[in-house]
Amino acid sequence: MQLIGRTLSPFVRRVAATLAVYGLACESLPLSTVTDGDAIRQRNPLGRVPALILDDGEVLVDSAAILDHLDELAGDAALTPRLGAERRQVLRAVMLGVGATEKAVAAYYEGQRRPEGLVWAEGLANLEAQAQAGFGALEAMLTGEHLCLGRLTQADVTAVCGHDFVARVMPGLLEGRFPRLTALSARLNADPRIGGTAFRG
Ligand SMILES: N[C@@H](CCC(=O)N[C@@H](CS)C(=O)NCC(=O)O)C(=O)O
C-alpha cells in the first residue's frame, strides 16, 4: 500500500496513525497539496490528500473511506466498533473531531492562505468559533483517559490529529482552552505508533 500526502494534514495523519496502530505496512508518498497538485490529481481527481493506493492499484480517496477499509483489515482490533451503540458513540466523537478539524482547516485557508485584504473577517471568526465548539464538545467528553469506551478508539486518534494540526498552524485557536484534549495528545504522542506520525517539517 502507498499513502499519499504529508502528515501535516490531520486527515492524512489519522490514516497514518491507524495504519501504525494496526501494524499494517505502508509506503509513504508525502506529496504536498501546495507544490505537488498535478501529482496528487493523477491519483485523486479532487486533488486532495489522503489517498491510499492498494497493492493491486485500486485508489481509495477520503480518510473516512480509507479507514473503513483499514478497519476491515484489522477485524476485531478495529478502532471503531463494528456495530450498535458502541459504534454510534465512537462515530459521534469521531465526527465531532472531523468536523472541528474541517472548520480549523477552512479557517487556516481563510486566515493564512488568502491574499491579504481578501480575508472575510466575519467568516473567519465563524469558522474559528465552530472549530472551538467542536473541540469544546470533545473536551467535555474527556472525563477519563480516553474519549469513548475506556480504551483507545478512532475518536482519540482523530481528535489528537486535529488538535495537533491546530496547535501547529493556529495555536491561538487552542490557547489553553482544551487542557484535557492537550493531555490526551501528550499521552497518545508518547505511543511511538502515533507520535511517530507527527509531521516533522
Ligand atoms: N474529507 C477529506 C478531507 C481531506 C482534506 O481536506 N485534505 C486537505 C489537506 S488537510 C486537502 O487535500 N486540501 C487541498 C484541497 O482541497 O485543495 C478527508 O477526510 O480525507
Write out pLDDT tens, residues 138-181: 999 999 999 999 999 999 999 999 999 999 999 999 999 999 99
Residue 53 pLDDT? 98
Q: Half-sphere exposure (CA, 13 Å, Cβ side) for 168? A: 17
Residue 201 pLDDT? 85
Pocket of ligand 1 (CB under 6 A): 9, 11, 33, 47-50, 62-64, 105
Q: Is the pLDDT of residue 8 over 90?
A: yes
CA 198 – ligand 1 centroid, Å: 17
Q: Which amino acid is at 37?
A: G
Report the alpha-carbon distance of residue 108 to residue 122 in Å, rounded. 14
Residues of the chain above pLDDT 90, percent: 99
> Which atom, in ligand 1's list, is nearest to the CA of 33?
14
Residue 134 pLDDT? 98
Count of other CB atoms within 10 angstroms of residue 29: 17
Q: Which fold has domain 84-192?
A: Glutathione S-transferase Yfyf (Class Pi); Chain A, domain 2 (1.20.1050)
Q: Whose CA is nearest to atom 20 of ligand 1?
A: 62
Among 155, 135, 132, residue whose Cα is nearest residue 145:
155
What ranges in the chain are assigned the alpha helix state H? 10-22, 37-43, 63-74, 84-108, 121-141, 154-169, 171-174, 179-189, 192-195
Q: Whose CA is nearest to atom 6 of ligand 1?
A: 48
Count of other CB atoms within 10 angstroms of residue 137: 15
Strands 27-29 and 2-4 turn out to be parallel
Map out the domains of the chain as residue ranges: 2-77, 84-192
Cis peptide upstream of residue 50 (ω within 30 degrees of 0)? yes
Report the alpha-carbon distance of residue 118 to residue 121 in Å, rounded. 9
Rg (CA), the chain: 17
Q: Is the pLDDT of residue 116 over 90?
A: no
Q: Whose CA is nearest to atom 1 of ligand 1?
A: 62
Report the alpha-carbon distance of residue 10 to residue 6 in Å, rounded. 9
Structurally, what CATH architecture does the domain formed by 2-77 represent? 3-Layer(aba) Sandwich (3.40)
